[in-house]
């Protein structure tokens, strides 16, 4: 997918946020967050639990008033024009917001009524949703009987029945199999290529790679904002991949070793962040051997987005503990 920043750079931002803050008593859930989203951009929102993602999305959706700061969505102010905002956005939660005791067709008609879609336009949009979701021959089937992949695509169709310029997706692929997840992202690209701005939160790192830009939240603050490629290339600390028959034992053996910044399991390998690459390559095999750990291979690798995510969160104080 071509970067959407160039596509929407000349237009006014679809979403603009300046020092947006939300307090609950003495607790600051969102702390002076600022960013903007271009029209047609696929904008990813990442962060650990308790980072402030959901609270920020609720303010942008007009569901929660900000304590201070300002934000506009499609030109409407989130503090003063919340009703207008709800008319021009689509929203899909990770629970899909469907009614299981209604049929596929009844769910479409219900959401069409909410969005004021009727007559010939409803007929055309209903056909589009059924075709897009692969449910053309399932319109009389109870929604509760559908697979998660079908529910996901139906929920997306219902969220964009009124063809909103901005679509908010809150972890829309949770619990969905990889094939359905990939197909869902193909639909997101189609919407973005048609001019829809897509604001999506996700905890899947491979999905984050699909976004034009990523905003990373932690402890209520925005700690990084850039394209996935620039976030990866901007990491300063060297990263080594360690292959060993005993990755769990190696992880324990690396604890407290001089020059090791952090280490973590990645599948059957370890990713080891070091202060100095040459020193790490030269010294770590002997250190691990002395602690009874066999090293099959040790090599420098470029960081994955997950490596960057972990490093940035730890640098910003770590995730909030449950």
- Region of 270 please: left (phi>0), alpha (psi -120 to 50) or beta: beta
**Lowest-pLDDT range, 76-80, 93-97, 114-118, 212-216?**
93-97
**What are the boundaries of each domain within the chain?**
4-230, 236-302
Does position 174 have pLDDT exceeding 80, yes or no? Answer: no
Token duo for residue 10 = 């000349």
State which H helix or E strand residue 113 sits in: helix 104-115
Identify the pLDDT of residue 3: 40
Rg (CA), the chain: 23
Q: Residues 182-203: pLDDT tens digits?
A: 889 999 999 999 999 999 998 7
Does position 7 have pLDDT exceeding 70, yes or no? Answer: no
Q: Return the CATH number of 4-230, one of 3.30.70.270, 2.30.42.10, 3.30.230.10, 3.40.50.300.
A: 3.40.50.300
Q: How confident is the model at residue 236 (pLDDT cuts 50, 70, 90)?
A: confident
User: What secondary structure does DSSP assign to 252-312, as a single string?
Assistant: HHHTT-TTEEEEEEETTEEEEEES-HHHHHHHHHHHHHHTT---SEEEE-PPPHHHHHHHH
Cα separation, 300 vs 269, in Å, equals 13
State which H helix or E strand residue 19 sits in: strand 15-24
Identify the pLDDT of residue 241: 97
Cα separation, 204 vs 176, in Å, equals 11
Q: 240 pairs with which residues across the strands?
A: 272, 300
Identify the pLDDT of residue 95: 73
- Residue with tokens 């003063």, as numbered in its chain: 80
Identify the pLDDT of residue 10: 55
CATH 3.30.70.100 fits 236-302, yes or no: yes
Burial profile 164-185: b = 16 or more Cβ within 10 angstroms, e = fewer: bbbbbbbbbbbebeeebbeebb
Identify the pLDDT of residue 8: 44
Percent of the chain with pLDDT over 70: 96
Cβ atoms of 190 and 165 closer than 8 Å: no
Q: Residues 53-109: pLDDT tens digits?
A: 989 999 999 999 999 999 999 999 999 999 999 999 999 987 778 999 999 999 999
Does position 255 have pLDDT exceeding 70, yes or no? Answer: yes
Is residue 114 exposed (0-12), middle (13-18) or buried (19+ Cβ within 10 Å)? Answer: exposed
Does position 5 have pLDDT exceeding 60, yes or no? Answer: no
User: How far is C-alpha 45 from the geometric centre of its chain's CA atoms?
Assistant: 4
Q: Considering the entire predicted model, what is its pTM? A: 0.85
Would the CATH topology of 4-230 be identical to that of 236-302?
no
Span 8-36, average pLDDT: 91
Instruction: State the average pLDDT for the chain.
Output: 91
Cβ atoms of 177 and 183 closer than 8 Å: no
């Amino acid at each position: 997918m071509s970067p959407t920043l160039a596509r929407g750079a000349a237009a006014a931002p679809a979403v603009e946020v300046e020092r947006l803050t939300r307090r609950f008593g003495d607790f600051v859930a969102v702390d002076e967050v600022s960013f903007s989203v271009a029209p047609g951009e696929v904008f990813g929102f990442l962060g650990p639990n308790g980072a402030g993602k959901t609270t920020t999305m609720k303010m942008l959706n007009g569901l929660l008033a900000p304590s201070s700061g300002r934000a506009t969505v499609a030109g409407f102010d989130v503090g003063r024009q919340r009703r207008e905002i709800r008319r021009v956005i689509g929203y899909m939660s990770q629970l899909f917001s469907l009614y299981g005791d209604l049929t596929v067709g009844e769910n479409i008609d219900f959401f069409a009524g909410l969005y004021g879609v009727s007559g010939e336009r409803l007929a055309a949009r209903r056909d589009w949703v059924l075709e897009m979701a692969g449910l053309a021959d399932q319109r009389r089937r109870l929604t509760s009987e559908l697979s998660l992949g079908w529910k996901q695509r139906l929920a997306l169709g219902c969220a964009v029945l009124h063809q909103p310029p901005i679509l908010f997706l809150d972890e829309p692929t949770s619990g969905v199999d990889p094939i359905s997840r990939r197909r869902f992202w193909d639909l997101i690209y189609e919407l973005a290529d048609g001019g829809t701005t897509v604001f999506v939160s996700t905890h899947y790192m491979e999905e984050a790679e699909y976004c034009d830009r990523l905003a990373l939240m932690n402890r209520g603050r925005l700690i990084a904002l850039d394209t996935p490629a620039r976030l990866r290339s901007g990491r300063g600390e060297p990263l080594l991949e360690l292959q060993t028959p005993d990755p769990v034992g190696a992880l324990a053996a690396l604890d407290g070793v001089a020059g090791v910044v952090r280490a973590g399991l990645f599948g059957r390998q370890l990713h080891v962040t070091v202060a100095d690459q040459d020193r790490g390559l030269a010294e770590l095999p002997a250190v691990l051997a002395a602690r009874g750990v066999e090293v099959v291979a040790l090599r420098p690798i470029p960081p994955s987005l997950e490596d960057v995510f972990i490093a940035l969160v730890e640098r910003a104080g770590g995730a909030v503990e449950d």
